[in-house]
Amino acid sequence: MKNKKSSAPQEAETRPSRCPDNSAFKQQKLPAWKPQLTAASVLSTFFLTGAFCLSVGVSLIVAAKSVREIQVDYSDKCSHCSKLRENSSNWNSECLCSINITLAEDMLGDVFMYYGLQNFYQNHRRYALSRSDEQLLGRNVDVQNSYCAPFATYQNGTPMAPCGAIANSMFNDTIDLFYNFNSSVIQVPLLKTGNSWWTDKNVKFRNPESHNLSAAFAGTARPPYWHKAVYLLDEEDEKNNGYINDDFIIWMRVSAFATFRNLYRRISRKGQFTDGLPAGNYTFHISYNFPVSKFKGKKYVILSTMVWSGGSNPFLGIAYLGASQWIVQLVFILRSQW
Amino acid sequence: MTVPREMPEKWPRVRGPGGAEEERRVRANAREYNEKFQYASNCIKTSKYNIVTFLPVNLFEQFQEVANTYFLFLLILQLIPQISSLSWFTTIVPLVLVLTITAVKDATDDYFRHKSDNQVNNRQSQVLIGGVLRQEQWMNVRVGDIIKLENNQFVAADLLLLCSSEPHGLCYVETAELDGETNMKVRQATPVTSELADISTLARFDGEVICEPPNNKLDKFGGTLYWKENKFPLSNQNMLLRGCVLRNTEWCFGLVVFAGPDTKLMQNSGRTKFKRTSIDRLMNTLVLWIFGFLVCMGVILAIGNAIWEHEVGVCFQIYLPWDEGVHSAVFSGFLSFWSYIIILNTVVPISLYVSVEVIRLGHSYFINWDKKMYCAKRRTPAEARTTTLNEELGQVEYIFSDKTGTLTQNIMVFSKCSVNGHSYGDVQDVLGHNVELGERPEPVDFSFNPLADPGFQFWDPSLLEAVQLGDPHVHEFFRLLSLCHTVMSEEKSEGELYYKAQSPDEGALVTAARNFGFVFRSRTPKTITVHELGRAITYQLLAILDFNNIRKRMSVIVRSPEGKIRLYCKGADTILLERLHPSNQDLTNVTTDHLNEYAGEGLRTLVLACKDLEESYYEDWAERLRRASGAPEAREDRLARLYDEVERDMTLLGATAIEDKLQQGVPETIAILTLANIKIWVLTGDKQAPGSPCAETAVNIGYSCKMLTDDMTEVFVVTGHTVLEVREELRKAREKMMDGSRSMGNGFSYQEKLSSSKLTSVLEAIAGEYALVINGHSLAHALEADMEVEFLETACACKAVICCRVTPLQKAQVVELVKKYKKAVTLAIGDGANDVSMIKTAHIGVGISGQEGIQAVLASDYSFSQFKFLQRLLLVHGRWSYLRMCKFLCYFFYKNFAFTMVHFWFGFFCGFSAQTVYDQYFITLYNIVYTSLPVLAMGVFDQDVPEQRSMEYPKLYEPGQLNLLFNKREFFICIAQGIYTSVLMFFIPYGVFADATRDDGAQLADYQSFAVTVATSLVIVVSVQIGLDTGFWTAINHFFIWGSLAAYFAILFAMHSDGLFQMFPNQFRFVGNAQNTLAQPTVWLTIALTTVVCIMPVVAFRFLKLDLKPELSDTVRYTQLVRKKQKPQHRCARRGGCGGGSRRSGYAFSHQEGFGELIMSGKNMRLSSLALSGFTARPGAAWIETLRRKKGGESSPDTAAKG
């Protein structure tokens, strides 16, 4: 007992205070905002959100309605070519196909030409992986060690340029559009550059450095399904040749789903086509190279105009309208309870 | 005691076949001899690692965790190229992070263990080596060494006491650290060694001890000392155990028998078993379910893959041939199963466990930091010793509390007395109310008395006035208190008196007499010297009629200096009031009223009486007593009869009331906890008064701490000694409870319910409040297998349960019983070593710290120094912890399901090829960077109602007890919400991207844009969701939530930047994606729509729930009016309740029997105190001379100097 008494003051001197700090943090008294779900705040939030959804929905639908779009399934219409392509031994024989369409109304503004593919699984894991971005950046790489297999090298060891399943399966139909104007046929001028993303064209894809392109790709071979080497993709335009060919770049940006459309050409607005495509009869001249019937796919050619929300895309507008509808219903439920 | 030496046969071999020690041989002063047995040294080691072993051992331990091994397995899967759908780093980064955090925590823990080990190992002790005393560190003490201990030193190892400064080799120890008992214990050296009082003889001592191997039995020791061809039996009485403190003994020498880990203290501190919370167990179950779900999804997708490859993939082979080695769609499906397991593994998030640990750690720190749980007096903050149980604090249903030291302070205070029909001690303020402690007026001033104890306080001045006015009754009253006791006094210097009382009650009484001017100064075996109002008077002590539990009283017979012989008696009222002279009837009635009043306040009462004895009668009686005590048989009975004869027809002097001081705030705490629907059971060891039905003291405490109230319909007391009696008593109690509820007639037909055979249901419907008091004997029967359920049902139907005189084992059994049948969370709180078992058994153990014993604290999960902090621990910290943990888990499962299930839906659109929706970096960082901190901040800081409210509305605690906030149902709701979110997260972008183009006509529906869109909307949706969940936005929450969003975009743009791509083109393929995709209004509209449709229903649902079925916490939080409501009245001042006799204390002295005899023999008198008492003692007392001679013969240098 006595010992305890005498040692207590001693301890007080030697031991630092063990009393916890009186800070707001340690005492869990930090100033804080305590949001509350009150009727006023909840209902007004719902109201505002509903109004927002409604207005966005309406404007999206209005915008989508103003888009003109024409879609033609040419794998059906060019069934003779489809049949030919089913047999892979005919790969080298050319097949041409013409399809007539009629534009009832003018397509004003910028008009874009897409090719669409259905049931083509660009988003398959093994497919999407089968590329070498390093090679496409113009670097000298050993594609053997990339994910390109089995489209990496030929039996004799010659590397494919570009390697991989994506590149190998590149869409290689050529589509031309002719305007049948007063019994004369005018070819619609098409732009084949400026269709890809700027970053892709200028950052992601680079040709190997060399004095000329064919030298740059010396020692490599074209992918097995290709008709011509990569440095011959666009012989007219040096800036659209090799890896930095727009068609190639666009193809290499794999799609999210098995049905997709890729931008093929833009209508060059000059001459008669300054305001877009006038109404009338048109003909697509298609060199049919890309087989789709083997995997029960379809090919489309699409002409479309653009608005701020992109092309014809009714889904988002309808979804917004639906959401606003739904929110209004929730508000009514809440109101009735309140 | 000496027997011829022979070879012991009991322990034939030193080492058993398995290397286990079978016996121990220790020879004093012979290190070489002892070394060959390789006994453990006195160095203790509680740490687990050292610098070299840390990494391998820690990693090994960590990979024993199923979760970690699972992720290691995933990692290996990811290294197989055919199935690796994700890069290896998506798993290894989180895994390494988790392992590192855990390792750092383990390392810190171990560092502190190292530190405390070092501190203990480096304590100094004096070791006799080569004939000289040397200072050695504890760790260098060896078995067989002789060490010297001084007063107030800790005992360094388990020692055989050889000799001490006290006569007869006695030595006093305090065993608080070992068994929690604060009273002192006497240890005695064997007579043969107690004479070895100087160093040279000790250095020559070569006795050999052969004894039992190390064990953890604190109260048993068996061994033999072989010395000089003789053998002497040794018992626990000869042992000083490590952890004890030497008290009131100048010095002593001991032989080290067990050292370090072999000591009983260390053997007792076994590694505590790892406790898991119910949420932990639930979480493990859920993780298993999720795992099952994961396998199911994997199987579905694998089947899908096989079908797809068979139907579609086969045709698509021209563009995408199958991998080498894959020849059939089925095999491809098999591979894709593993690929999907890898992708979908994020539903079992690796960061779950580590986040839970971090949150718990945070909560533990909040407990440690809580200023309101800091006891300034004892300078001890609350401490969370286990960091893994916090949320369970919010679910406690049963509290098992020790009494002494936990509810009470184990300080007895002389609080009231009744002398000659007048009651003293009530303090009333101006309004006539009883005043609370701390608001009292000035205490009585005892400065007139130089010998007064300054620590004593009394508030009623009228008693002192009565003393000073010379009221003969009052004088006789205090004279009795100063004479009739077995207290020893010690006077270090003139006037500085210290009392060594065997029981705190007695100490309080003698101290009271001391302050009122009747100072017990000193005693010898035959005299008692008292300063009566400044006058030294020596009474001749003729006899001490000692206390025992049957008599429940003690008396002394003294001869005053005038020669009158008087018997003073004090004892339990029930006993004494029967032994009074009939002429006292009137006074008895008044005093009985007073006693009832005292008992009603929970005070421990005692009646005092005296009697004059005729000289001739006494001579005759004393002669008979002498003969009786010399009698060979039936000595006890004959003595008892003689005592009984003389303690009759006494005159009543008065009654005392001692307050067993409660800890601060105990009644309030119990009241609040009861309101929070927590059932409190008091399990008291009550070591005082063994062998008597002493339920009364515990009941007193029950009343004084408001566990029992007068409003209670009935308090059942079970005291049966046989199985049948106990069963009968329990049955009756149940019947009464049911009768009571039937008479309430609240519409239920109990007969019907009875027929449904389940007793519990009946008992739950009990109306009225009941309490159960059961004592140790009955409890032993009640805990037998065939009766335990019956007992439990009865006990649980009662509001309060008090079990008295239960052994530590029984305490644990009671806790175990409730754990087993009630499936409720239990909490045990105690301060002593006798509570250790129950602290370890209960889900949560709380130790009261700051007292001398630390065993309970060491075994506990939480410790603080005041019982009242329990309410804060449970109602504030526990409640918050539970709430936060539940919210955390709900959100965590939600966000991972929302994140992962998107892959499942995408599987149907990508040919089940295990293509991920997101960029692999997003998958890596989602759980550890983008979404971890906001939810951690919520898990650590969230508060639903301010802390004061949870005290004011204890009902707020109920959701935790009923486990409402996170259970399987809540889990499925979270999962459903997660899946709902994932569906929208996938299908809205799908709808948009099906044929979307950018506003400049370029493609938008590419895989990378889709990935960025989904990832961004996911991060935004889960951030909004955490914002909704967070109820308490501190600056930290703001920082983390906004910071996470900002970090997402910053990292996104960095990952998609040109620079990184130029460096690692194959790794950062998303170059330019962020700026291209996020520049599109369509993308943002998609994100906005996703967010709106994911969040709005949640808001609506929450609001409806709030409106239609508000929780109490919602009401408290939202209704401002609530503040104005009056606080519930915790303090219902119980004044002067008319307690029944059952409540009155059958006062039992809390001390051991036999001290009277020890005093009369003079065995425990120290020469110093004898010498001091000499100046008042009558000269020529022969016994002093004898003792002096005896002492002189032993001639210990120390005592000689003193003497």
The string of pLDDT tens digits covering residues B73-94 is 888 888 888 888 788 888 888 8
> What's the rounded mean pLDDT across residues B170-186?
71
Q: Which has the higher per-residue pLDDT, B1094 or B425?
A: B1094
Query: What tens digit of pLDDT does each residue of B659-702 get?
Result: 888 888 888 898 899 888 899 998 886 544 333 334 566 777 77
> What's the rounded mean pLDDT across residues B1093-1098?
93
pLDDT at B810: 84
Q: Distance, in angstroms, between A200 CA and closest chain B CA?
A: 7
Q: What is the DSSP letter of B1025?
A: H
CA-nearest of B868, B397, B829 to B667 is B868
- Six-digit token string for B431: 């309004």
Q: Which has the higher per-residue pLDDT, B1059 or B1196?
A: B1059
- Whether B1072 sits inside 8 A of A36 (CB atoms) is no
Q: Which has the higher per-residue pLDDT, B767 or B204?
A: B204
Which residue of chain B has the CA closest to A27? B370
- Six-digit token string for B180: 């929690």
Say whether B402 is catalytic. yes
Contact assessment for residue B308 and residue B912, using Cβ atoms and an 8 Å cutoff: yes
Q: Distance, in angstroms, between A90 CA and closest chain B CA?
A: 15
Which residue of A2, A19, A32 is in closest CB contact with B498? A2
- Six-digit token string for B437: 């402690």
**Neighbour-count burial of B701, counting CB atoms closer than 10 A to its CB (0-12 exposed, 13-18 middle, 19+ buried):** buried
CA-nearest of B1025, B1159, B26, B1142 to B599 is B1142
| Coil/strand/helix, residue B725 | helix
Run of H or E residues at B42: none
Picking from B317, B390, B987, B1096 by the largest number of A CB atoms within 10 A of its own CB, the best residue to mutate is B1096
Q: Distance, in angstroms, between A148 CA and closest chain B CA?
A: 11
Residues 6+ away with beta carbon under 8 Å from A95: A78, A80, A81, A84, A85, A287, A288, A289
Q: Does residue B789 surpass a pLDDT of 90?
A: no
> What's the rounded mean pLDDT across residues B642-665?
87
Residues 6+ away with beta carbon under 8 Å from B398: B678, B679, B680, B681, B818, B822, B824, B825, B826, B827
Least confident of A154-163, B400-409, B1067-1076: B400-409
Query: What tens digit of pLDDT does each residue of B576-627 get?
Result: 888 888 888 888 889 888 888 887 777 888 889 999 988 899 999 988 888 8
A316 touches chain B (CB under 8 A): yes
Adjacency order of strands within the sheet including B3-4: B3-4, B230-235, B222-227, B208-211, B24-27
Q: Does residue B777 surpass a pLDDT of 70?
A: yes
Confidence of residue B1118 (pLDDT cuts 50, 70, 90): low
Give me the half-sphere count of Cα atoms (radius 13 Å) on the Cβ side of residue B879: 26
CA-nearest of A322, A326, A324, A303 to A314 is A322
Q: Which has the higher per-residue pLDDT, B15 or B559?
A: B559
Least confident of A38-52, A243-257, B206-220: B206-220
Give one word for B260, left, alpha or beta, with left for phi > 0 and alpha for psi -120 to 50: left
Q: Does residue B1125 surpass a pLDDT of 50?
A: no
Contact assessment for residue B683 and residue B803, using Cβ atoms and an 8 Å cutoff: yes
A336 touches chain B (CB under 8 A): no
Contact assessment for residue B891 and residue B1026, using Cβ atoms and an 8 Å cutoff: yes
Percentage of residues of chain B with pLDDT beyond 90: 23
- Whether B369 sits inside 8 A of A146 (CB atoms) is no
Instruction: Give me the total of CB pairs closer than 8 Å, taking one residue from chain A and one from chain B.
Output: 289
Rounded (5°) CA angle B468-B473-B475: 45
Q: How far apart are CA B867 and CA B873, in angstroms?
A: 10
Which residue of A27, A49, A255 is in closest CB contact with B1005? A255
pLDDT at B180: 55
- Whether B1005 sits inside 8 A of A250 (CB atoms) is no
A254 touches chain B (CB under 8 A): yes
pLDDT at B498: 81
Distance from the Cα of residue B670 to its chain's centroid = 16
- Whether A197 sits inside 8 A of B1002 (CB atoms) is yes
Confidence of residue B173 (pLDDT cuts 50, 70, 90): confident
> What's the rounded mean pLDDT across residues B895-914?
94
pLDDT at B741: 61
Which residue of B914, B996, B1032 is in closest CB contact with A310? B996
pLDDT at B268: 67
Q: How far apart are CA A224 and CA A228, in angstroms?
A: 10
Which residue of A21, A88, A323 is in closest CB contact with B1089? A323
> What's the rounded mean pLDDT across residues A242-271?
92
- Whether A121 sits inside 8 A of B913 (CB atoms) is yes
| Coil/strand/helix, residue B892 | helix
Q: Does residue B1178 surpass a pLDDT of 60?
A: no
Q: Which residues, listed in sequence order, are joined to residue B716 by a DSSP beta bridge? A: B772
Q: Is the pTM of this model over 0.90?
A: no
Whether complex ipTM tops 0.85: yes
Q: B1088 to chain A: which residues are within 8 Å by CB?
A: 56
CA-nearest of B39, B36, B10, B12 to B258 is B39
Q: A163 to chain B: which residues are within 8 Å by CB?
A: none
Q: Does residue B751 surpass a pLDDT of 80?
A: no
Q: Token match 């203290």: residue? A: B265
Q: Does residue B436 surpass a pLDDT of 90?
A: no
Query: What tens digit of pLDDT does each residue of B1135-1164 get?
Result: 333 333 334 444 444 444 555 666 666 655
Give me the phi and psi of B474, to 5 degrees please: -65, -40
Picking from A1, A144, A248, A302 by the largest number of B CB atoms within 10 A of its own CB, the best residue to mutate is A1
Confidence of residue B428 (pLDDT cuts 50, 70, 90): low
Q: A33 to chain B: which residues are within 8 Å by CB?
A: 1032-1033
pLDDT at B1176: 35
CA-nearest of A92, A93, A96, A91 to A77 is A96
Q: A12 to chain B: which residues are within 8 Å by CB?
A: 379
CA-nearest of B1032, B836, B912, B1100 to B243 is B836
Q: Does residue B438 surpass a pLDDT of 70?
A: no
Q: Which has the higher per-residue pLDDT, B777 or B178?
A: B777
CA-nearest of B54, B97, B114 to B932 is B97
- Whether B1086 sits inside 8 A of A36 (CB atoms) is no
Q: Distance, in angstroms, between B1005 CA and closest chain A CA?
A: 6
A64 touches chain B (CB under 8 A): no
Q: Does residue B764 surpass a pLDDT of 70?
A: no
Picking from B872, B1103, B1122 by the largest number of A CB atoms within 10 A of its own CB, the best residue to mutate is B1103
pLDDT at B783: 86
Helix axes B89-121, B54-62, angle to 10 degrees: 120
Q: Kindly report the number of other CB atoms within 10 A of residue B536's CB atom.
A: 13
Q: Distance, in angstroms, between B173 CA and closest chain A CA?
A: 13
Percentage of residues of chain B with pLDDT beyond 70: 85
Residues 6+ away with beta carbon under 8 Å from B325: B82
Query: What tens digit of pLDDT does each residue of A168-219 get?
Result: 999 989 999 999 988 889 999 999 999 999 999 999 999 998 888 888 888 8
Q: Does residue B770 surpass a pLDDT of 80?
A: yes
pLDDT at B1043: 96
- Whether B1065 sits inside 8 A of A30 (CB atoms) is no
Q: A26 to chain B: which residues are within 8 Å by CB?
A: 365-366, 369-371
Confidence of residue B215 (pLDDT cuts 50, 70, 90): confident
Q: Which residues, listed in sequence order, are joined to residue B718 by a DSSP beta bridge? A: B774
Q: B1058 to chain A: which residues are within 8 Å by CB?
A: 199, 203
| Coil/strand/helix, residue A214 | helix
Contact assessment for residue B686 and residue B808, using Cβ atoms and an 8 Å cutoff: no
Distance from the Cα of residue B60 to its chain's centroid = 32
Contact assessment for residue B1093 and residue B981, using Cβ atoms and an 8 Å cutoff: no
Q: Does residue B851 surpass a pLDDT of 50?
A: yes
Q: How far apart are CA B1190 and CA B1199, in angstroms?
A: 12
Query: What tens digit of pLDDT does each residue of B443-485 get?
Result: 788 888 888 888 888 888 888 888 888 888 899 999 999 998 8
Q: Catalogue the long-range contacts made by A89-97 (C-beta closer than 8 Å, 24 or more residues apart).
A: A91/A225, A92/A227, A94/A287, A95/A287, A95/A288, A95/A289, A96/A285, A96/A286, A96/A287, A96/A288, A97/A285, A97/A286, A97/A287, A97/A288
pLDDT at B1130: 40
| Coil/strand/helix, residue B20 | coil
Q: Which of B43-52, B195-204, B498-507, B1036-1045 has the highest mean pLDDT?
A: B1036-1045
- Whether A137 sits inside 8 A of B1065 (CB atoms) is yes
- Whether A125 sits inside 8 A of B1003 (CB atoms) is no
Residues 6+ away with beta carbon under 8 Å from B1084: B1078
| Average pLDDT value for chain B | 81
- Whether A260 sits inside 8 A of B1005 (CB atoms) is yes
- Whether B1001 sits inside 8 A of A326 (CB atoms) is no
- Whether B913 sits inside 8 A of A132 (CB atoms) is no
Give me the phi and psi of A306, to 5 degrees please: -125, 150
Dmax over Cα atoms in chain A, in whole Å? 124
Run of H or E residues at B487: none
Least confident of B496-500, B1107-1111, B1199-1203: B1199-1203
Mind spelling out the 3-state secondary structure of B202-218? HHHCCCEEEECCCCCCC
How do strand B184-188 and strand B170-174 relate by DSSP bridges? antiparallel
Q: Token match 């007219």: residue? A: A236
| Coil/strand/helix, residue B1123 | helix
pLDDT at B1138: 32
Q: Does residue A34 surpass a pLDDT of 60?
A: yes
Give me the half-sphere count of Cα atoms (radius 13 Å) on the Cβ side of residue B747: 0
- Whether B1072 sits inside 8 A of A165 (CB atoms) is no
Q: What is the DSSP letter of B591?
A: H
Q: How far apart are CA B318 and CA A293, in angstroms?
A: 12
| The amino acid at B179 | D
Q: Does residue A323 surpass a pLDDT of 90?
A: yes
Query: What tens digit of pLDDT does each residue of B238-292 get?
Result: 888 888 888 878 888 899 988 888 888 777 665 556 778 888 888 888 988 998 9
Q: Distance, in angstroms, between B133 CA and closest chain A CA?
A: 25
pLDDT at B362: 93
Q: Which has the higher per-residue pLDDT, B301 or B459?
A: B301
Q: How far apart are CA B896 and CA B884, in angstroms?
A: 18
Q: B376 to chain A: which residues are within 8 Å by CB?
A: 19
The residue annotated as part of the active site, out of B370, B402, B453, B861, is B402
A291 touches chain B (CB under 8 A): yes
Least confident of A218-222, B116-120, B182-186, B807-811: B182-186
pLDDT at B6: 39
- Six-digit token string for B820: 């087993």
Query: What tens digit of pLDDT does each residue of A273-318 get?
Result: 999 999 999 999 999 988 888 888 899 999 999 988 888 888 999 9
Query: What tens digit of pLDDT does each residue of A83-113 get?
Result: 888 877 777 788 899 999 999 999 999 999 9
pLDDT at B897: 95
pLDDT at A83: 85
Q: B995 to chain A: which residues are within 8 Å by CB?
A: 259-261, 311-313
- Whether A199 sits inside 8 A of B1002 (CB atoms) is no
Q: Does residue B794 surpass a pLDDT of 80?
A: yes
Give me the phi and psi of B1063, to 5 degrees please: -80, -50
Q: Token match 């000298």: residue? A: A140
CA-nearest of B1145, B1150, B1143, B1177 to B1162 is B1177
Q: Does residue B768 surpass a pLDDT of 80?
A: no
Q: How far apart are CA B212 and CA B215, in angstroms?
A: 8
Least confident of B14-18, B436-440, B622-626, B1093-1097: B14-18
Run of H or E residues at B193: none
- Whether B1001 sits inside 8 A of A199 (CB atoms) is no
Contact assessment for residue A59 and residue A307, using Cβ atoms and an 8 Å cutoff: no
Q: Which has the higher per-residue pLDDT, B1127 or B489?
A: B489
